[in-house]
Every structure is written in structure tokens, then in C-alpha cells.
Chain A
Amino acid sequence: MTQRVLVEQPRRGTRIFLVDDHRMFRSGVKAEIGTRVDIVGDAGDVDEAIQGIRLTKPDVVLLDVHMPGGGGRAVIEGVHETHPDTRFLALSVSDAAEDVIAVIRAGARGYVTKTIAPDELVDAIQRIAEGDAVFSPRLAGFVLDAFAGDLPPGVDDADPELDQLTTREKEVMRHIARGYTYKEVAKRLHISIKTVETHVSAVLRKLQLSSRHELTAWAAGRRLL
């Protein structure tokens, strides 16, 4: 045992702050990834989270989408005032596209479901820490739904740059939605991983800044009458 402690380098892992109102889930995540990242704190509600994040200044905040008192969105908004550089990765069991999109638009750089495997979660955290975006297949599906089709007639397309995905971006999103990792997407499309990441970040920016989702009422509109 002592041997192992000696072998383990005192490396400075990615500093993580955990926000989730379910204690069970927090301790579960700690048990799963606690040895591979540096969990500097955790919180169970919005106020506690904002204070804790300001105090500990983590690299990445793992953030539950649904929480009493305004949800993950309120945490992001509260932290952004004083610490605009904090990066957020949204975690949720929720299917509701509008909730997920709301957290992304508030500033989260990625979204994964709570059923994600520990290895993938660590990978996603690293990616977020490096400033990239993390799209789960489900989020990619939401994005494709949101940007599908043409704008409704009569609506002035204020910023076509923001309101449309390029063909390449759509292609990347489709592959992610199909369950491909960034690496596999790169191989499949004969581009570099860096290029895939650039595309995903561009899509994230459009998702955060475009008013497209409001124009198309995509969430309700594409679902059924």
C-alpha cells in the first residue's frame, strides 16, 4: 500500500467542483473519478455552489441541469459575474431538450448524460478543461433538430452566419449523434481531431448565440401535434 502511495506522482490534476443536489450521485462520481481528477469541492444547491466555486476557483464545474433554486443555469449566471473563465460541463438525466439547451446557452461548454462511463467522463472533463466543447450523441441530436430545415418564411434572418450550420458542421454533428468519438469522426471524415474540435466549438458558439431556436420554436415545433 505504501508502495503505491510512493509511486503515485503528486501531479496536479484537473481541479473539479461538483454540483448536484443528490448526495448519492456526488459520492458516486467522487468514487468513480476521484482518483483521476482533483475534486476540490462539491455543493448541493445553487447558493452553496456559487460561493464554493468562487472560493475554490476550479478548472471545470460538473453541473447538474436540474436543481432546486434555478438549476444549473442559475449557478452559471451567478459565477459568470465574477469568474467568467470558469468552465462548466452539464450533467443530466433529463431528456428535455429545452432544459439542456438553456444550460448550454447560459454558458456550459458541454453536456453529457449521467449514465456516462467513468472513462468517458474523465475524457470529457479534460476536453472541457482544455477549452473544447463536449457534445454527447444526445446533444448533437438536439442541435441537429434545432438547426434543421429552413427558417420559417417571413422571418428576417438576422445573422445567417449564426443561424445555419455548415455542411461540414452538420456532418460532424451527425457522426457524433451516431455514437462516434471525435477521433473516429476525424478518421471517418479524413480530417484532423483538431479540425473536429474546431467544428464542434463553432457549433457550440452558434448554439449559444443564435436566436434561431426561438425563431423556429424547434423544441415544440418538430415534435408532434
Chain B
Amino acid sequence: MSPPDPATSTVPPPPRRRAAEGALGFSRAGEDRVVAGIAAGLAHRIGVDPVLVRIAFILFAFAGGAGVLLYLLGWALSSDEDPGADAHDVPRAPDLQQGVALGLVTLGVLLLLREAGFWLGDGLVWPVVIGGLGSAVIWTRGDAEDRARWSRMASHIPGDPVGSVFGGRISIPRILVGATLIGAGMAGFLAANDALVSFRPVVLAVTVTVAGIALVFGPWLARLVAQLSEERRERIRSEERADVAAHLHDSVLQTLALIQRSSEEPRRMVALARRQERELRAWLYGRGAGPDTRTVRAALDAMTEEVEVDHEVDLDVVLVGDGVLDDDTVAVIGAVREAAVNAAKHAGVDVVSVYLESTPEVVTAFVRDRGRGFDPAAVPADRRGIADSIRGRVERRGGTVELWTEPGGGTEVAVTLPRHPASRSETTP
């Protein structure tokens, strides 16, 4: 049994929007967010200004912390705006505004818990909060690049969290501030529990020990960091090398192999070499890996390659005024192709010159060979047929085709196609 036709059997996909919405039917705002985007998301859903919703949340927050609870509830029951897009989007770096907001929310939650009685005592919670803040200062990663580096490193160096911690771009001030906060939290905890006084010798001993450990392992850590960044550079380099190698293998090496096998046919070798040259140049100079068929240049290049390979002739192509491919330029390139094939078949030459100029008013093209030429009055029937196919394409669109030739004097086909108003608007000047 043949597989079902995908066009008919597929169930229409559920609207993306809906899938992204949480249980409450709204999603967290991605752009216009202060904390987690709940207020903006909700506002968007019910159609009011986000500021109003925010004010409401704040007012509720003073009512015994209900607003904070509601906010957390909203967060739990909603979802990110667009998971598909979020996967690619760089998560927004936490800015000062967000930091302050998050701090205030945390404070609100804590006060709420304190009111509600879920509390382990001032002496324990506040030092822990201060310590946590310090930890957050150290660990909050600045940007997505860091984040990505982090996860890369984590995946590359399993079981070496120390290295991955210090390999990132953590600024010294940040570490200092964070460490001070953590230290303050610890000291606060000890002081609050009256432990500091009685344990002063122990504290001293611990401090000295920690300092000793730092002296012992500090250089090792520093070396590890240097090693890691060197490793990263090396990896990037080798990835690039692999990229180039893969491309050259698919293109240049294949062509070289083909050339070796067709050493008996010099024309074919030349055609292969020329095609490879064009491809490699396009790759090197950034015209993209795949041919971009939207431009006149790309279409002309593709046509050139085809004719060169099929008819064993070199086309010397000059293009003036590259632009978006439209019906007019397609028609002219088609006519140029016919004329070039014609020259390849009948003129007995190795090289055919092609010139195409595209302006907003008119597309002109010339196909010229220095071949044997012919007497237009005595054209054999098959050649007239080809001439007609050139004419047909162009004259259907209101253009003209002229032919200059004489026996022994080469041939030139000139194509002139005034632009149609419709396609003129599509072209860039």
C-alpha cells in the first residue's frame, strides 16, 4: 500500500498561538516584560494597558501579599509567548529594571511568608537571602553568548564543574560583590546565632585553611582556564577547517577526479574546469552555497554553465545592471541561450561573447561569435527554426531581435526588450 498523500491526510495543524497558551489562555509577553511578562500577557489577553494590570498586581501585593501570590499563580499557569520562536530568540539579558523588580518580588514573597507564619526565624532566613543574592550576582550570566558557551563547555567537559565555572566571562567586580554578600550572609548567620564569638579560633582556622587551598589550587585553576580557552579556539579552528574540507571535497576534488577521467576529451575538461571555477568563486566571494535564482546574475550563470557543459563552448559573459529576475529578463536570458546554443552548433567556434544589460527601461542582450557566419538569404530550414524560437520569445513580449551576419564574418544576435510597466516596478533601479 502506498503511503497516504501528505497533502490530503494531514490534519490541519492546531493554531500555533493556541498551543503556546497556558491553562489560563494567555501567554507571557516576550517583548514588553518587566518581570516575567505576566502582566503584559494578561493585559494583551483582556485588552487593557499593561500598566493598569501592573498597578493592580502591586495594589494586591500590599493586601497581605495576595498580588504576589496571584502573580506566581499566573506565571505557573501561563506559558512562554511562542516556544518555536523562543528556541531561536536570544533570551533577554536581565537588566537593572528586571533585577530590581525580581528583588522586590522576592522581598514581597518573603514578607508574605513571614506574615503567614512559614518562617524559620529572622536569624536564619535573612542571612540565607543575602547569601543567595551574592550567589545570584555571581551566577547571573550576562548574555546569551555566555550562556551558550556555558552549556557548550558543560557538555564538553563533564565532571569538571570547577573549570566550567571559571572559564566563562565572569567579571572580577561581580565575583567580589557576590563573595562579599555571601560572606556577609554567613557572618550574619553566625552572629545571629551567637556563634561568632565562641568560634573565633575556628573561624580563623577555617579562613587560613581556605587561603591555603586557594594558594595551592589557584595556579592550577588559572592554568585550567587558559587551557580551556585554548581548547575552545582550537575547536573553532578545526570546525572551520572541516567546513572548508567538506566543501572542497564536494566540489573541487570531485571535479578534479572527473577531469582525470575525461583526459581524452579536452573540451569536456575545459568545461568542467570552468564550471568548477565559477562555483568556487561564488562560494569564496559569498554569493552563497546554493545558486540564488532570484537574481539576473544567478540565472545567467546557471544558463552559461548549462550551455558550456552541453555544447562544449566557452561563453564569455558580461552583465551590466544585475537585479531581481523578472519575466522580461527571463525571456531575454532564454533568447540568449538559444542564440548561444545556435552559435555553438553552427559557428564552429570555441568562444561566444554574451553581453546583457538590464536597465529600468529596457533589457538588451548581444550574443556574438567570430565563426563562419552565413548568408541570411540562404538559411537552411533548421536554422530558421532556431531563429524563430529566439524571435518568438522576445517578440511575444514586445521586443525585437536583430541579426548581423555574413559568410566568414561571424554572427551577432541583438535582443532588445522594452520593459513592461508591471515588471518595471519589481526591479530595483
Name the one of B281, B285, B324, B355 contacting A177, with C-beta atoms under 8 angstroms. B355
Query: Which of A30-38, A73-81, A144-152 makes up part of the contact surface?
Result: A144-152
Query: Which of B96-104, B163-171, B216-224, B314-322 makes up part of the contact surface?
Result: B314-322
The total of chain A residues at the interface (CB under 8 A) is 21
A178 and B294 in contact, given A95-B281, A140-B318, A148-B321 (Cβ under 8 angstroms):
no
User: Does A223 touch B at the CB level, under 8 Å?
Assistant: yes
Are B321 and A95 touching (Cβ within 8 A)? Answer: no
Dominant secondary structure at the A interface? loop
Are B285 and A95 touching (Cβ within 8 A)? Answer: yes
Are B368 and A178 touching (Cβ within 8 A)? Answer: yes
Are B322 and A138 touching (Cβ within 8 A)? Answer: no
The size class of the interface chain B forms with chain A is 20 to 34
Interface string of A171-202 (1 = CB under 8 A from B): 00010011110000000000000000000000
Binding site for A on B (CB under 8 A): 277, 281, 285, 294-295, 297, 316, 318-324, 353, 355, 357, 359, 366, 368, 412, 428-429
Are B323 and A224 touching (Cβ within 8 A)? Answer: yes
Interface string of A11-22 (1 = CB under 8 A from B): 000000000000
Contacts of B281 in A (CB 8 A): 93-95
User: Does A41 touch B at the CB level, under 8 Å?
Assistant: no
Are A222 and B318 touching (Cβ within 8 A)? Answer: no
User: Does A5 touch B at the CB level, under 8 Å?
Assistant: no
A96 and B322 in contact, given A149-B429, A174-B355 (Cβ under 8 angstroms):
no
Name the one of B318, B323, B428 contacting A141, with C-beta atoms under 8 angstroms. B318
CA–CA, A224 and B291, complex, Å? 13
Contacts of B297 in A (CB 8 A): 223-224
Contacts of B294 in A (CB 8 A): 224
CA–CA, A93 and B353, complex, Å? 18
Interface string of A137-179 (1 = CB under 8 A from B): 1101100110011000000000000000000000000100111
User: Does A225 touch B at the CB level, under 8 Å?
Assistant: yes
Are A137 and B322 touching (Cβ within 8 A)? Answer: no
CA–CA, A94 and B297, complex, Å? 16
Please indicate which of the listed interface residues A179, A180, A223 has the most CB atoms of chain B within 10 Å of its own CB. Answer: A179
Contacts of A137 in B (CB 8 A): 316, 318, 353, 355
A138 and B323 in contact, given A174-B357, A225-B428 (Cβ under 8 angstroms):
no
Instruction: Give the residue name and chain of the B residue nearest to A137 (CB).
Output: B318
Are A177 and B322 touching (Cβ within 8 A)? Answer: no
Are B355 and A145 touching (Cβ within 8 A)? Answer: no
Are B321 and A179 touching (Cβ within 8 A)? Answer: no
List 20 other contacts, CB 8 Å, given A93-B281, A138-B318, A140-B318.
A93-B277, A96-B285, A137-B318, A148-B320, A148-B321, A149-B359, A174-B357, A178-B353, A178-B355, A178-B366, A178-B412, A179-B316, A179-B353, A180-B368, A223-B322, A224-B294, A224-B295, A224-B322, A224-B323, A224-B324
